[in-house]
Amino acid sequence: MQSSTAQDAVSAESAEPHSFSSKEQPKKVLTTVETERYGVRWKGKYGTWIEPDIVDAVDPYIYVHGPYCPHDGHGLRVGTVTKQVVRTDTAWICDACDRTYSYPEEGLSDESRIEYEMKQQLKKQRAQAQATD
Ligand SMILES: [Zn+2]
């Protein structure tokens, strides 16, 4: 069962921090995962899109949301910071602690890179869980 939809429509301009993922939130969350990338924290919900009695029948996926402040976990907003009087840069701003994190210059091309890291973590978690048997 292959489900390859055209999901590369995520534009770097949609800088709304919390609608980052092009996917729907999973209805049934199996586990959560976190990773750091671009200097900020991302969270992922690993689950399935239906409320299943039949989890085995559907492929779980990762829903990425964020970013969050690595310092206090507060949700970051996108804004601009002034650097050296004449220059303004796009940045992630934490309203809780006033820290700013520079927004990647090339933009957030897509979520697959973060997803990939999360998948590696999930794999590791699973391997560890099996090792404790
Ligand atoms: Zn903060």
Enumerate residues with CB within 5 Å of ligand 1 (an ion): 69, 71-72, 74, 94, 96-97
Residue type, 78: V
Q: Determine contact, residues 35/44, Cβ cutoff 8 Å.
A: yes
Question: Any bridge partners for residue 91, and if so which?
Answer: 79, 102
Q: According to the model, what pLDDT value does residue 52 have?
A: 61
Average pLDDT of span 18-46: 86
- Residue 117 pLDDT > 70, yes or no? yes
Q: What does the alpha-carbon distance between residue 38 and residue 49 come to, in Å, rounded to a whole number?
A: 28
Residue with the larger pLDDT of the pair 17 and 51: 51
- Residue 125 has a CB neighbour count (10 Å cut-off) of 13
Q: According to the model, what pLDDT value does residue 39 have?
A: 94
CA 95 / ligand 1 centre spacing (Å): 7
Q: Is 27 exposed, middle or buried (0-12, 13-18, 19+ CB in 10 A)?
A: exposed
CA 41 / ligand 1 centre spacing (Å): 11
pLDDT digits 0-9 by tens, 76-91:
999 998 877 778 889 9
**Least confident residue range of 1-5, 21-25, 50-54:** 1-5
Q: Is 112 exposed, middle or buried (0-12, 13-18, 19+ CB in 10 A)?
A: middle
CA 64 / ligand 1 centre spacing (Å): 19
